[in-house]
Amino acid sequence: MLALVLLLQPTGALDVALGIDHTTRTIADVRSQAFELGRAEVGGRLRWPGIEAEVRLETARSAQPQSLLGVDGNSLIVRARRVRVAVTHAFGPLAVAAEAGLVGDPILEALERGDDLRDLSPLAAQVGGLLDAADAGARLRLAGFDERVALEVGFANGEGATEVEQNDGVDTTLVAAGVPWRGDALGGPAEVRLVAAWRDGSRGAGAVQDDRLAAGLTVRGEPGSLGVAFVRADGFGGRAERVVTDLEIWANATLLPGWGGVLAGFEQGELDADAPDASQQRILAGLYLDPALPGAPTERLRLYATWSRTRFGADAAPILPTAVDEDRVFLRLALTGTLEVTP
């Protein structure tokens, strides 16, 4: 089988994403600091005309949050992030793509498209568990007129990448995205992108309601970008009646082209709409540097330096054990790159 694959002479690509961090936390006047491997992903893709196969791996701590009982202490383990086969075909100005396997979340990918700061941290809705990076299932996408309009439907187990299916339900996701404006502004190309999404889902052995509603706005141009993402969960954490919302706003502006700029972010979350004060609020500010690497195959090497403050409402701690007010100084050296391979 391997000989047949190679005989067809596919092109290939090796993708790498790294985040090497140093974090200083202050919690209740107690300061701590640590180096961390915040992100490590490697993926390989094989491409034939109209077909692509991908395997992408990532590292994660083996223990659950608030626990040290993992594999060999709390060692880093390697796990699958995406394993998929995709088929694409163009019909004039329209393009159809279908993929199956361990596929990315269509809502998450639509909200992140055009976002310039995702190598700093994942979307807040993913960190909070409202959205999973991937799930076992299939996706069908129709896009047209240079991605000005896109419609997508997805079917998945609904348990995320770390669990097998636990009920008879199949999550159904609908995503609509569009670019109402694209042109030149402030010295370069720019565009405005809108996203709306809905999911009918269930989770766990009890098939607990796990629906999602999401909307996003991204404005991107030569001097920087601005993004807004809103996600609402109807059913969360094994409770069908629990409503959780998360609003995230981020922006960055280039001060010295080719060198770096400034960034800012704001997050407002409600961990349980029925609780009087189960809010979560985070503000973020920082700088980034973009050192040039002439001749290197790196898409981007960026150094981030940020400060953030996270505050929780009085009723948040019983819902989320990690709900502790925190000030954080965060440094990340982020590298993302793709090495193209041709026969």
Question: In the prediction, which pLDDT does 10 show?
Answer: 86
Tell me the CATH class for 92-341: mainly beta
What's the chain's average pLDDT?
91
The overall longest dimension of the chain from CA atoms, in Å, is 64
> Is residue 85 within a helix (H) or strand (E), and if so which, with residue range?
strand 76-91
pLDDT level of residue 293 (50, 70, 90 thresholds): low
According to the model, what pLDDT value does residue 8 have? Answer: 67
- pLDDT at residue 164 in the model: 87
Across 44-77, b (16+ Cβ under 10 Å) vs e yields ebbbeeeebbbbbebbebbeeeeeeeeeeeeeee
Mean pLDDT, residues 15-30 taken together: 94
- Listed by start position, the domains of the chain span 92-341
What average pLDDT does range 283-309 have in this prediction?
Answer: 86
How many other CB atoms are there within 10 angstroms of residue 157's CB atom?
20
Span 207-261, pLDDT tens digits: 899 999 999 999 999 889 999 999 999 999 889 999 999 999 999 999 988 789 9
- With vertex at residue 80, the alpha carbon angle to CA 83 and CA 56, rounded to the nearest 5 degrees, is 60
Q: What is the pTM of this model?
A: 0.93
Decide: helix, strand or coil at residue 127. Answer: helix
Whether pLDDT at 2 is above 60: no
Q: What is the pLDDT of residues 49-103, one digit of tens each?
A: 999 999 999 999 877 665 667 777 788 899 999 999 999 999 999 999 999 999 9
